[in-house]
Chains A and B, each alone.
Chain A
Amino acid sequence: MNGFILIAGTLIPLIGSLFLPLMGRFNEKLRNIMALIFTLAALICAAGALPGVLAGEPYSIRFELPLGLSFGFYGDALAVFMALTAASVSSVIVIYSYGYIHEDNQNEYYMMICLFVGAMMGLVYSTNLIAIYIFWEISALCCWRLIGFYRTELTVQRANKAYMITVFGALIMLIGFVGIYGQTGTFELTAMKGMYIPAWAVVLILFGILSKSATYPLHSWLPDAGVAPSPVTSLLHAAVLVKIGVYAYARFFVLTFKIDEIFTAAVPVIAAISAIISAGVAFRENDIKRVVAYSTISQLAFILLGLSSGTKIGFIGGLLYILAHSVAKGGLFLCCGIVEHTVHTKDIRVMGGLAKNMPFTALAFIICAFSVMGVPPLAGFFAKHLVIDGIVETGNVALGAVFIAAAVMTVMYLTRLFVKVFLGPQTFPDVKEGSPVMVASVMILAVMSLLLGIFIYWPSQLAAIAWGGM
């Protein structure tokens, strides 16, 4: 019975999304409300799975299929943690969309958003590698349609680029899954816990992970995907889609399989390169969304560092970073959307003094930026500290120093962005604050960043339970 809550959390948004275009043909308000209800349903179901986790008996359900195959859902601490993060941020983004999206193809927009949320839920709960792959590709499909939302030549080109890089990575990853099946005789993660997998399989799976999580050198699609509407960029490229890759890393290489030690040395180095180079590029960018996109690439490297450190404290730091970053970066992208919506440009060189006309957006922006920078009492502080703690605990002091340098760069480029956009002489004296719905959404995320920091005890306890694995 309890396992059905996991199925409900997946199928409600997944199947419900298919009805949204139909609803939209008759009543747009109904469609919008139902889209929110479907994402909230995913959140409620994820919250409903918490008691099982806290009691030490995670909810699960399994179906036996013909030909010796099986398919299961498992709501352990890691899955519930990810589901709660994704669903909560997605719900806020749906609300924000009401004020932002006014174009013609809204039916497809809301359908893709809900389909994506459902795919995300299915991905985190699945115990079967093939099921994970299927949900992985559904999310890529949604990403493709949503990035190309405006249907101009440029947006379609960029959508194709994102699709091809992520699907290429996923196909390589699938070869890795097949290789694992050849070795173990099963696709079930629960049956493979503690099993050693060869280096070639790890490399193939890493292709998929690094392409999805926009890590160097498979990151190029993320900054270009900024042509999408801001709620799309926030949902996919800050809060949820890019977290799929790091979630997969945690699920496969930390909690399930045993891998060669060379990867616990190599992956942090790849993460360090990604963190420092993207931070350097962010400092020079003049497109407001590209700055935040490169910041995402840099922060994802921090998450990968924590998860790949091999230490409990690093792992917990990585999970807290996923939570803190999803909320804060989601808020940053939504603030960028408000700015872009009102001044009709993304070039920060022509902006200035917007804090006077848009005080709430500026306040939400700086709170979210402080969380990303790691300023207490916001959630990002604890995450950053634990992640660096984790890598130093392995004895790798040099890498710790590189990430401290990346953290310094984070402070620099986010301060530069805030100062250029919101401070200084006013260049757009006639603009007004964003619509109430949009401003309320960003304020919710800013307040969430603050509350998560003050009440960090509970997320960190859930993350600590997640260390125990399946």
Chain B
Amino acid sequence: MDQKSLIVAGVDIGAATAKAVILERNNILSFSVLPTGYSVSQAGESVIRKALEKATLSFDDVQYIISTGYGRRGVSFSNRAVTEIICHAAGVSSIMPQARTVIDIGGQDSKVIRLDDSSNVINFVMNDKCAAGTGRFLEVMAGVLDVKINDMGPISLISKDPCEISSTCTIFAESEVVSLRAEGRGREDLLGGIHKAMSHRVVIMGKSIGFRKDVVFTGGVAKNVGIKEAMEDEIGLQILIPEEPQIMGALGAAMVAQADLEKLEKRS
């Protein structure tokens, strides 16, 4: 392997899933997504090995690694740990440089990040202490309504009269949904209401720092078209979604790794 190949990796250990991206001079060679499971260090190792395998590379080929996500400090093989807020911003900016707002909804947190015209983070808000407005909220609701996570978005779009879910707490919202279900409300209306309620939590949080276009939506929840539309309605701006929204943190980590490595090479 050529020493100048500049192969770097980003590893994002989220609450629900671990992600890895292998990057060479701004080109994504491969990526992988695995459940985090109970061990952060094991998740980090498995997810990078899987990504390397896809790219037919070995661990020794990678010259620099940045870890991110809530488990970033548990990745023993990384050169540096960087927060997921910085990495999501870097990941999105690398493929959508026009982005000025990033909404990220992951398994157990949500955040809104504002970027300046040079794509620097200039403001952010984050919710990581309450399940409302996170992927976990959707998982709980999917369980109550016996629907697959991936089907929630398309089903909700059929609704013409989404329910009003007033509770801001996942547990109380679950009770509310159960009551509405008992009243005979259709699944599509319930899902429409759930998406509106969840979007509302995230939008209220984001309004404290403001939304500016282009608004980009990342994280596993960005795959839910119902949430995207509910947020667009509330913000009044079009929301863009990257092709692989779940790996933006890992991609950003890899971009930071590339920048770090370039700096190191310049110094030497």
Do A and B share a complex? no
Identify the B interface with A (CB < 8 A): none
Q: Which residues of A contact B (CB under 8 A)?
A: none
